[in-house]
Amino acid sequence: MLRRLLFIVLLFVVCSATAQTFKINYHFVQSGDLIQDKNFYLLTLLQKLSYLKATVINDANGESLQQTKLTELKGSVRQNKSSEDLIATIKFSDSDKRLAENSLANLVNNNHHFKQTLLNEMKASGYFILYENQADSTFVKKSLGDALEGINGILNTYGLGIKGRFTAIDAPTIDVSTSGFHSSLKAELVAEIIKPKQLFFEPALKVALYLLKLNKCDQPGFFEPLNTGENKKAIAEIAKTNWSEFRYAAQLVPGNGPQGEEKLSKTGIERLRIAVENYQKKLAPFIIVSGGNVHPFRTKYNEGYEMKKELMNEFHIPESAIILEPHARHTTTNLRNCNRIFYRYNFPVEKKILISTDKNQAFRISNPDFVTRCESEIQHVPFTDLKSLSANMIEYQPVQTSLFMDSTDPLDP
């Protein structure tokens, strides 16, 4: 009897650990700006759900922060301050962030309907999964803090020219020291501060999004919507797959950006050859090609898309067996973004992912230092049970934490 009871308890623990904490068919609230929604989904919820917006606007603390920021912004515009001073005024100070975080936490603690409405949307999206085990007030404070810090990061890089996290691929293309930049920034700010009944973050958010577009940093929107576009045929095939015939759910092939004008590097093609061999061995029914527009700087070629074309045109792999992930810019996000597909497209959670790549990258991924790199770059380790199978093949179990959207990396959150 005791043994049976222990088995039931263990089964419950395992099921709880693997239970989905998000809704696969969740209907995302949309702002009309996909870059905003991917980077700042909490702010989209506060903007577009009328009850949430009205509650935040009428909150005394929120109103105080809004009035303080508007007064500062209007004063800077009237005094025709420099671009640098305008950006400094737009940014959220530490005291601004504390006030905003505490105000939202107080609403969650003291308004049950507000709490249920906001938290239900946040948790169903999966975007804030990294903080789900925290108390409700801490959950929203950390999520809002990330958003405000993300806005500040964009303002620093694309408004002040301060080097970002990944200087070689994040650099602005617009010179912030020119009079033209100052005029356009001022005009955008003027258009925002005259709007009535705004939320405290809206002027800063709009300016940040404007700066991304000014610098043509719209990578998070590339190829979207993938579900009804590039990945439509593969998604239809997933539902018909007999998973018992395959050891792995899919193969992941990380992109390798060329240094010149060629569409694919020799290393990238080598990785595809390995993946094709494994596909022909029926190790996995799908090949996930992952990589964004990364190298050389501001390249017009997308690693994932060019790999997909190569697989179809040169290796004759059917489109229904290829899944495009066109946004990853690092090895860490190759795995993270692959995991998102794994869960969003409803792959069987008991299956693992097989990475097919060249021996140099395989060595780096299987090295213990890669765990530290993941924790630093994406705030979590995107795998468990990672195991090197050969010089070119690694298997791992995806984790749900990869659904977390990172506001500090605006070109691939």
**Low-confidence winner among 54-68, 330-344, 359-373 (lowest mean pLDDT):** 54-68
Quick check: is 328 in a domain? yes
| pLDDT (0 to 100) of residue 36 | 98
Structure tokens at 153: 């990061």
- Do 111 and 128 lie in one domain? The reply is yes
In this predicted structure, the answer to whether residue 412 has a pLDDT above a threshold of 60 is: yes
Sign of CA dihedral 407, 409, 411, 413: negative
Mean pLDDT value of segment 18-39: 89
Quick check: is 16 in a domain? no
| Residue 157: exposure state from Cβ atoms within 10 A (0-12, 13-18, ≥19) | buried
- State the Cα–Cα distance between residues 228 and 366, nearest whole angstrom: 35
Quick check: is 278 in a domain? yes
In this predicted structure, the answer to whether residue 298 has a pLDDT above a threshold of 80 is: yes
Largest CA distance in the chain: 80
- Do 215 and 141 lie in one domain? The reply is yes
Q: Which domain-ending residue is among 174, 196, 220?
A: 220
**Which residues have C-beta within 8 Å of that of residue 386, sequence separation ≥ 6?**
365, 366, 394, 395, 396, 397
Q: Which domain-ending residue is among 193, 220, 247?
A: 220
| pLDDT (0 to 100) of residue 21 | 75
Pick from 327, 331, 407: which is nearest to 374 by CA? 331
In this predicted structure, the answer to whether residue 7 has a pLDDT above a threshold of 50 is: no
Quick check: is 408 in a domain? no
pLDDT band at 258 (very low <50, low <70, confident <90, very high): confident
Q: If you search the block for the tokens 């995302």, which residue do you land on?
A: 28
Range of the domain at 357: 222-403
- Do 183 and 321 lie in one domain? The reply is no
- Do 123 and 243 lie in one domain? The reply is no
| pLDDT (0 to 100) of residue 16 | 39
- Do 99 and 124 lie in one domain? The reply is yes
Could you tell me where the DSSP H helices lie in 21-135? 34-39, 41-48, 50-58, 60-78, 83-90, 94-110, 112-125
- Do 188 and 300 lie in one domain? The reply is no
In this predicted structure, the answer to whether residue 64 has a pLDDT above a threshold of 50 is: yes
Mean pLDDT value of segment 348-369: 97
Q: Which domain-ending residue is among 220, 242, 277?
A: 220
- Do 88 and 136 lie in one domain? The reply is yes
pLDDT band at 17 (very low <50, low <70, confident <90, very high): very low
Quick check: is 142 in a domain? yes
Strand, helix or coil for residue 357: coil
| pLDDT (0 to 100) of residue 372 | 98
Domain count, the chain: 2
How many CB atoms lie under 10 A from the CB of residue 175? 9
**Low-confidence winner among 90-104, 167-181, 210-224 (lowest mean pLDDT):** 167-181
How many CB atoms lie under 10 A from the CB of residue 1? 5
How many CB atoms lie under 10 A from the CB of residue 254? 28
| pLDDT (0 to 100) of residue 12 | 38
Structure tokens at 60: 């005394």
How many angstroms separate the Cα of 264 from the Cα of each of 258, 274, 310, 324, 405? 6, 15, 9, 15, 28
pLDDT band at 250 (very low <50, low <70, confident <90, very high): very high
Stated pTM of the model = 0.93
Strand, helix or coil for residue 393: strand
Mean pLDDT value of segment 339-349: 97
pLDDT band at 297 (very low <50, low <70, confident <90, very high): confident
Q: Which residue has the higher pLDDT, 199 or 13?
A: 199
In this predicted structure, the answer to whether residue 193 has a pLDDT above a threshold of 90 is: no
pLDDT band at 53 (very low <50, low <70, confident <90, very high): very high
pLDDT band at 366 (very low <50, low <70, confident <90, very high): very high
Q: Which residue has the higher pLDDT, 7 or 241?
A: 241
Mean pLDDT value of segment 163-183: 90
Q: If you search the block for the tokens 């539902």, which residue do you land on?
A: 239
Q: If you search the block for the tokens 């108390």, which residue do you land on?
A: 135
| pLDDT (0 to 100) of residue 165 | 82
In this predicted structure, the answer to whether residue 30 has a pLDDT above a threshold of 80 is: yes
| pLDDT (0 to 100) of residue 8 | 38
In this predicted structure, the answer to whether residue 11 has a pLDDT above a threshold of 50 is: no
In this predicted structure, the answer to whether residue 117 has a pLDDT above a threshold of 70 is: yes
Quick check: is 27 in a domain? no
Quick check: is 14 in a domain? no
Strand, helix or coil for residue 27: coil
- State the Cα–Cα distance between residues 316 and 171, nearest whole angstrom: 38
Structure tokens at 96: 């601004």
- Do 235 and 333 lie in one domain? The reply is yes
Eight-state DSSP code of residue 391 = S
pLDDT band at 9 (very low <50, low <70, confident <90, very high): very low
Q: Residue 228 is part of a domain; what is its CATH number?
A: 3.40.50
201-205: Cβ within 8 A, 24+ apart: 201/43, 201/46, 201/92, 201/100, 201/147, 201/148, 201/151, 202/47, 203/69, 203/70, 203/73, 203/90, 204/69, 204/90, 204/91, 204/92, 204/151, 204/155, 205/36, 205/40, 205/43, 205/151
pLDDT band at 20 (very low <50, low <70, confident <90, very high): low
Quick check: is 267 in a domain? yes
Mean pLDDT value of segment 350-364: 98
What tens digit of pLDDT does each residue of 106-116 get?
Answer: 999 999 999 99
In this predicted structure, the answer to whether residue 355 has a pLDDT above a threshold of 90 is: yes
Structure tokens at 237: 């095939």
- Do 184 and 329 lie in one domain? The reply is no
Q: What angle do CA 180, 185, 191 make, to 5 degrees?
A: 130
Q: What angle do CA 15, 19, 21 make, to 5 degrees?
A: 155
- Do 206 and 246 lie in one domain? The reply is no
- Do 322 and 242 lie in one domain? The reply is yes
**Which residues have C-beta within 8 Å of that of residue 172, sequence separation ≥ 6?**
157, 158, 161, 215
- Do 339 and 373 lie in one domain? The reply is yes
| pLDDT (0 to 100) of residue 14 | 38
| pLDDT (0 to 100) of residue 79 | 93
- State the Cα–Cα distance between residues 260 and 283, nearest whole angstrom: 34
| pLDDT (0 to 100) of residue 60 | 87
